Amino acid sequence: MIFPSIAPGSGVLSRPIVLLAVLAIPADAQEPFGLLLQGEAAESFLKTARVVKKKAIGIGVTHPYQLTLDDGTRTLKAVWKTIDESPSGVKQFVDGKFEANFRDSYMFEIAAYELDKLLGLGLVPPTVEREINNEKGSVQLWVEGSLTEWERRKQNLKPTDVDRWNEQMFKVRLLHQLTYNTDYTNIRNILVDPDFRIYAIDFSRGFRLHDSLLAEADLARFSRSALATLRGLNRALLEQKLDRWLTSWEIQGLLKRRDRILALAERRVAEEGEDAVLYP
């Protein structure tokens, strides 16, 4: 069985789809794909490489830009986002819903990457804070040769390793619930490269103050290693790594959601057994 991502707007898991065929995402064999730099090398490049081109991506309410960066050795693309909105009072959305303490910020993109590193998930592309033309924002490395999950499903492309796909997707869901990312149902924010590796992007509306989870039903299985790392998180560590981008209240909300996730995992194991719930 292949478990697709969350259906747009549903807030719950989509029905499983039976794997009938295996297709590969088309990619030119001459062109590299995925993340062309990683770790500290990627972070250093994103912070220092010269901006040679900037153009609007043209989609998304945060109005992101695509940057072309060059350090004299390589030329790579990145996403530049500068939104940092915290309207006073209650925010009303186009669908009529309201939210208090609303915040939409590029800082959450960086916080999501740093949290992803702490958890060892490997889902969020390298992301740093940078000032360009006297304006601060987040710079995130472009995932080359990727499709959005919406495009993958539209083209009916099936992953070659179903178990690996499902395990990656459950990690994405874990990260969305932990960060309370209110854009989690938008499957255009999940990228898939030709090796069917998954990347999670767009956390600018995450890190809410709530101590609840957006959708417990999304968390049906858990990575043992991710749970172990979650247990090791504490306020001192999170403040050390994240307080440049998160307030103390946002860190507190994160820890409370962590506690809920750990309790949910224990309950699932007690009800269904370790083999049904846990994977490496």
In angstroms, rounded to a whole number, what is the distance separating the alpha carbons of residues 77 and 64?
A: 13
Q: Are 201 and 141 in contact (CB under 8 A)?
A: no
**Of the candidate ranges 37-41, 51-55, 88-92, 155-159, the one whose mean pLDDT is the lowest:** 88-92
DSSP code of residue 64: -
Tell me how far apart the alpha carbons of residues 68 and 23 are, in angstroms, rounded to a whole number.
31
Does the pLDDT value for residue 96 go beyond 80? no
Could you list the beta-strand ranges (E) of 71-195: 75-81, 84-85, 90-92, 98-100, 104-105, 127-132, 135-141, 147-148, 190-192
DSSP 5: -
Q: Using an 8 Å Cβ cutoff, are 201 and 125 in contact?
A: yes
pLDDT tens digits along 168-183: 999 999 999 999 998 8
230 contacts: CB under 8 Å, gap ≥ 6: 119, 178, 258, 261, 262
Average the pLDDT over each of 57-61, 121-125, 270-274 and give the range with the smallest value.
57-61
| Mean pLDDT in residue range 54-63 | 82
Q: What are phi and psi of 135, to 5 degrees?
A: -130, 125
Q: How far apart are CA 147 and CA 161, in angstroms?
A: 17
Evaluate if residue 9 carries a pLDDT over 60: no
Q: Which tens digits make up the pLDDT trace of 101-135?
A: 788 999 999 999 999 999 999 999 999 999 999 99
More confident residue, 248 or 2: 248
Average pLDDT value for residue range 83-110? 76
Q: Is 20 exposed, middle or buried (0-12, 13-18, 19+ CB in 10 A)?
A: exposed
Contacts of 24 (CB under 8 A, 6+ apart): 157, 160, 194
Q: What is the Cα–Cα distance from 34 to 263, expressed in whole angstroms? A: 35
Contacts of 120 (CB under 8 A, 6+ apart): 225, 226, 229
CA–CA dist 129, 274 (Å, integer):
40
Cβ–Cβ under 8 Å, residues 207 and 104 = no
Q: What are the boundaries of each domain within the chain?
A: 39-85+94-279
pLDDT at 14 over 90: no
For the whole prediction, is pTM greater than 0.85?
yes
